[in-house]
Amino acid sequence: MFEKVLIANRGEIAVRILRACREMGIRTVAIHSTSDVDAMHVRLADETICVGPPPAQDSYLCVPAILSAATISNADAIHPGYGFLSENADFAAMAEEHGFAFIGPSPEHIRMMGDKITAKKVARENGIPVVPDSGGTVKDEKSALDAAEEIGYPVLVKASAGGGGRGMKLVATPDELPEAVQTAKSEALTAFGDNKVYIEKYLGRARHVEVQVLADFYGGVVHLGERDCSLQRRHQKLLEEAPSPALNDDQRHEIGGIVVAAMEKIAYRSVGTVEFLYEDGAFYFIEMNTRLQVEHPVTEMICGLDLVREMVRIAAGAPLGYGQEDIRLSGHAIECRINAENPVTFIPSPGRVGDYHAPGGLGVRVDSAIYSGYNVPPHYDSMIAKLIVHGANRNECLMRLRRALDEYVIDGLETTIPLHRRLLADPAIINGDYDTHWLEEFVSSDD
Ligand code: ADP
């Protein structure tokens, strides 16, 4: 097992990883920018190294500084968390070349899934149903029009290198398509350094359902059920739940089995999430995330496994030690993402936290890195906490979540807590009857 792990991240996920390492008897090295000297992950780590100034480009994304920090601290392994360098195949490869274990998938798998056109091809070839698309890059106006005609309007123009909900354009009619392709290409080049775009069928009433997998170096693969992440604003998830209210056990086992078989074929390792849109009883692959996800705790709450611990064990060469028949999913879990944002306008609200009181009690988990007196810096993501609640069934989970949200006090900042309270009073949420467009309509009805 590793003796020391460097955590190449900040915020709640750095604390989450640090906790798992500490429980495993592994020492931790926190890296931080100059604006994060007082951050919780820095306070809790065994060793800390400043890697640069506040802009992420110069600190949390600065590969030479991070590899130097790993070398100086004599770490055995690097955990990238999510965001930042977690899906950067070159970083994973460089970490390994410098003698550090990368706690994640192989650089080849990260690269394969990081390009959406390649990812869809691999998925299709390995028996995973995919969203109908142009079958590769659209090069010119004519091939775009032909592909869209065959798929049927409306269509989405998507950047192959896209991510974080960016790089998608909805096109309703052929006359809008040429311009959408041109703008998508130039925006993709600016945002992702790659102008490849493709066309995909637009699913107007779909749910976002994603399957969590865990795989070791020796062909052991299990799935841990699915999460429903349909509640999104601008393609960004706000509330996630497991299991999905839309699936029954047969559908769950069927899609889980398809995903496991594909992961076995491509010899995947570590954690991964295969994302689908689900409409009219059919699954359509959209992409695979080759990292730990923000919403992983809802899966942990229903399966009882510590996913970070499993990632560390796998990276250290341990076999899973259990099979699909040993995985038991129990009860229901929901996660609310609490962002430092105005709950109506979504304008970020960084600043100093005043009084702080986190909820507790049976089945309540708070993953956060804030504390009273902490100054939320303006340079990074606005998510400051995740409230995760588990109940014996969905109804108990909803009641407990309402109670926990009512207890939560975060003074000094605007947060999305009032929005979550309103969501949990809405019949659509109570009945689990919502799709990927529902939240957008719910928040725009405020205007
Ligand atoms: P990203 O990598 O930016 O997260 P994804 O491909 O995972 O992009 O899609 C994010 C979200 O965008 C999905 O959860 C869904 O809400 C929406 N979306 C993506 N593809 C489609 C599609 N073909 N039809 C309808 N909505 C889509």
422-442 mean pLDDT: 97
Quote the longest CA-to-CA distance of the chain: 61
Beta strands in 252-393 (DSSP E): 270-279, 282-289, 332-339, 351-352, 356-357, 364-368, 375-376, 383-391
User: Among the listed ranges 12-16, 66-70, 191-195, 312-316, which one has the minimum average pLDDT value?
Assistant: 191-195
The answer to whether the pTM exceeds 0.85 is yes
Domain end point (choices 152, 169, 201)? 201
Query: Residue 167: which pLDDT band, with cuts at 50, 70 and 90?
Result: confident
Q: Are residue 229 and residue 180 in the same domain, yes or no?
A: no
- What values do phi and psi take at 219, rounded to 5? 90, 0
Q: Is 199 in the pocket of ligand 1 (CB under 6 A)?
A: no
Tokens of 174: 């052929």
Q: Is 83 in the pocket of ligand 1 (CB under 6 A)?
A: no
Q: Is 156 in the pocket of ligand 1 (CB under 6 A)?
A: yes
The domain of 142 spans 132-201
Q: How far apart are CA 8 and CA 112, in angstroms?
A: 22
Q: Is 203 in the pocket of ligand 1 (CB under 6 A)?
A: yes
Q: Are residue 305 and residue 287 in the same domain, yes or no?
A: yes
Tokens of 10: 């900040």
417-444 mean pLDDT: 97
Domain end point (choices 152, 176, 201)? 201
CATH number at residue 80: 3.40.50.20
Q: Are residue 182 and residue 273 in the same domain, yes or no?
A: no
State the pLDDT at residue 17. Answer: 99
Q: Are residue 282 and residue 369 in the same domain, yes or no?
A: yes
Tokens of 24: 């495993």
Q: How far apart are CA 439 and CA 2, in angstroms?
A: 43
Q: What percent of the chain has pLDDT over 70?
A: 100
Find the DSSP H helices in 270-342.
296-303, 307-315
Residue 124 lies in a domain: no
Tokens of 21: 């390492």
State the pLDDT at residue 447. Answer: 56
- What values do phi and psi take at 171, rounded to 5? -125, 125
Q: Are residue 226 and residue 186 in the same domain, yes or no?
A: no
Q: Closest ligand 1 atom, CA of 286?
A: 6
Whether residue 412 contacts residue 397, with contact meaning beta carbons closer than 8 Å, is answered with no
pLDDT tens per residue across span 286-313:
999 999 999 999 999 999 999 999 999 9
Query: Please, which residues bridge with residue 387 across strands?
Result: 336, 366
3-state secondary structure of 157: strand
3-state secondary structure of 4: strand
Q: Are residue 73 and residue 162 in the same domain, yes or no?
A: no
Q: How far apart are CA 389 and CA 286, in angstroms?
A: 28
At a CB cut-off of 8 Å and minimum separation 6, what does 200 contact? 131, 132, 133, 134, 151, 155, 156, 158, 286
State the pLDDT at residue 446. Answer: 65
Residue 109 lies in a domain: no
3-state secondary structure of 94: helix
Higher-confidence residue: 435 or 446? 435
Whether residue 86 contacts residue 104, with contact meaning beta carbons closer than 8 Å, is answered with yes
Q: How far is the CA of 165 from the centre of ligand 1 (A)?
A: 7
Q: Are residue 153 and residue 258 in the same domain, yes or no?
A: no
Domain end point (choices 144, 171, 201)? 201
Q: Beta strand 155-163 with 101-102: parallel, antiparallel or unpaired?
A: unpaired
Residue 113 lies in a domain: no
Mutating to test ligand 1, I would choose from 157, 168, 289 the residue with most ligand atoms within 8 A of its C-beta, which is: 168
170-192 mean pLDDT: 94
State the pLDDT at residue 108. Answer: 98
Residue 61 lies in a domain: yes
Q: Are residue 379 and residue 361 in the same domain, yes or no?
A: yes
Residue 19 lies in a domain: yes
Beta strands in 243-308 (DSSP E): 270-279, 282-289
Catalytic residue among 27, 207, 252, 291: 291
Residue 216 lies in a domain: yes
Q: Which of 300, 290, 298 is nearest to 266 (CA)?
A: 290
Q: Are residue 239 and residue 289 in the same domain, yes or no?
A: yes
Q: Which of 2, 39, 18 is nearest to 353 (CA)?
A: 39
Q: Is 111 part of the annotated catalytic residue set?
A: no
Q: Are residue 338 and residue 214 in the same domain, yes or no?
A: yes
212-229 mean pLDDT: 98
Whether residue 17 contacts residue 7, with contact meaning beta carbons closer than 8 Å, is answered with yes
- In the chain, how many domains are there? 3
CATH number at residue 262: 3.30.470.20
Q: Is 382 in the pocket of ligand 1 (CB under 6 A)?
A: no
Residue 121 lies in a domain: no
Q: Are residue 362 and residue 230 in the same domain, yes or no?
A: yes
Query: Please, which residues bridge with residue 364 across strands?
Result: 389
At a CB cut-off of 8 Å and minimum separation 6, what does 16 contact? 308, 367
Residue 323 lies in a domain: yes
Q: Are residue 323 and residue 239 in the same domain, yes or no?
A: yes
CATH number at residue 183: 3.30.1490.20
